[in-house]
Amino acid sequence: IAYTSSGCALMIVALVLLLNGGMDKSPSTFITAPVIRKTVATDRYGEQQYHLIVSSWRPGRSSEELSVGRGVFQRAAVGRNVAVEVHRGYFGYPWSGNILPQ
C-alpha cells in the first residue's frame, strides 16, 4: 500500500507541474538578477551540468539556482546580470524560461 500510494502521489505532483507550465497562457516577464556564483557538476556518467546561482527576486529567499546550457554559462559572468524569463504558472506556481546573459 505504501509503494502504491507513493507512486500515485509522485504521478500527481508530476502531472500538476507539467500542466502548470503547459497550460500557462499568462504573459512572461523578464527579471534581471546578478550572478553570485557559477558551478559545474559532473554526474556519474561524465556529463557536465552548468548552474548559475543568482540573487533571488522572490521574497524570503536569498538566491536561486538556475540550470543553464554551456553557451549561457560561458557568456555569464559573476557580478554581471542575467535576464530571467518568469511565468506566473497556470496553478500559480512560478517557473522560469529563457535565461539571457547581459
Residue 77 · residue 32 · CB < 8 Å: no
3-19 residue pLDDT tens: 999 999 999 999 999 99
- Residue 22, H or E segment: helix 2-22
CA distance 27 to 36: 27
Cell reading at 37: 556564483
Q: Indicate yes or no: pTM above 0.85.
A: no
Cell reading at 36: 553570485
Which amino acid belongs to residue 71? G
28-62 residue pLDDT tens: 999 999 999 999 999 899 999 999 999 998 889 99
Residue 72 · residue 50 · CB < 8 Å: yes
76-93 residue pLDDT tens: 999 999 999 999 999 988
